[in-house]
Structure 1
Amino acid sequence: MMNDHIDIRLRQTEVGDLDLLFQFQLDKEGGYLAAFMPQDPSDKSAYLKKHTSLLHDPTVNSQTILLGDRIVGSIARFVMEGDTEITYWIDRQSWGKGIATEALSQFLTIESTRPLFARVAFDNFGSQKVLKKCGFVKVGSDKGFANARNAEIEEYIYKLI
């Protein structure tokens, strides 16, 4: 692995993980960088309903990221408009430690679907760096309304073959 000195492991996301994962996505700075958030990210019941149903969706591979025995984020594969995409979220307290890179690297060994796409806000440089380190290549851009910024922004599209 890229950062094998980091004690990261992935496991299938469980309903019991969702409360903590919900708390992570309430972080304003993380939400700003993620940009494409629900209209009301503070609506816990909507979050739990959506993510509980995703745990039973066979087109979704949802994994919880653990550092030791502590949950530090999530990573998932999903299908949107016919494309298989990935998404991940790392608790802001764990940023800058190589956790996202290691988690994505491990995820790519258990998730064999290719091509895989990722979308990232034009100014989310940390996430762009993670994608590049894991072999993703920027293949285009798009514009979309980012609820977290209340504005249309450019997002970059990355692809892994």
Structure 2
Amino acid sequence: MELTLRPVSPDDLDLFFDHQQDPAAVWMAAFTPADLPSRVAFDARQARILAEPSIVVRTIEVDGVAVGHVLKYELDGDPEVSYWIGREHWGRGIGTTALARFLAVEITERPVFARVAQDNVGSLEVLRRNGFVIVAEGSGPAEGRGRMVKEYRLELSADTVGPAELPG
């Protein structure tokens, strides 16, 4: 598997929109915008994201095919990472490898944070494999589920040792 990260191209946006229309993926992600079904709202949000200099977003390619994206943004003054992999690519180590490379090359500041629904064991494992540790528990409104959901806040600190070896 050859995994690369590259800048987002306009052609990637159709794929990203399609990913966010998958009910199983939206349920798993949980903390999504309320207006996911709206292409107009999606395009406006993506335009803001891509124009914002403090946000770093990269398309994930595997063997030359775009399969998702990874990004860093600010939430309440803290850097946070997030990612979305198309469901047809889950379980292959793509999220773990993409996040590891993103953290090694694009986001070297520490600490950096992430949030995950407590029942999203796959995403929690991706974060743990990249050296993130749970620092808080809480709950928040999850538009992807239409209710409050328990979540973890995780941190990758400056003294946390990351993965010993990148998978793939």
Matched, 1:139 2:135: yes
- CA shift, 1:40, in A, is 2.3
Distance across 1 between alignment mates of 2:48 and 2:14:
14
- Residue deviations 1:69-113 (CA, integer Å, cap 9, x gap): 111000000001111000100000000000000100110111112
- Structure 1 residue identity aligned to 2:125: K
Matched, 1:108 2:124: no
Structure 2: gaps (5+ residues):
158-168
Distance across 2 between alignment mates of 1:40 and 1:51:
13
Match of 2:15 in 1: 20
Distance across 2 between alignment mates of 1:108 and 1:55:
19
Matched, 1:8 2:3: yes
Aligned to 1:15, the other structure's residue is in SS state: coil
- CA shift, 1:143, in A, is 1.1
Identity, % of aligned positions: 38
Matched, 1:43 2:38: yes
Match of 2:151 in 1: 155
Corresponding pairs, count: 156
Distance across 2 between alignment mates of 1:160 and 1:31:
25
- CA RMSD in angstroms comes to 0.8
TM-score (norm 1): 0.94
Structure 1: gaps (5+ residues):
1-5
- State which drifts further: 42-51 or 10-19: 10-19
- Structure 2 residue identity aligned to 1:134: N
Which of 24, 33, 36 is 1:29 aligned to?
24
Distance across 1 between alignment mates of 2:134 and 2:66:
30
- Structure 2 residue identity aligned to 1:45: V
Distance across 1 between alignment mates of 2:136 and 2:48:
31
Match of 1:88 in 2: 83
Match of 1:3 in 2: none
- CA shift, 1:62, in A, is 0.3
Aligned to 1:159, the other structure's residue is in SS state: strand
Which of 55, 61, 67 is 1:66 aligned to?
61
TM-score (norm 2): 0.90
Answer whether contact 1:8 1:68 (CA < 8 A) is retained.
Answer: yes
- Residue deviations 1:32-68 (CA, integer Å, cap 9, x gap): 0100111121101111111122111111000000011
Moved over 6 A (4+): none
Distance across 1 between alignment mates of 2:87 and 2:20:
9
Match of 2:47 in 1: 52
- CA shift, 1:14, in A, is 2.2
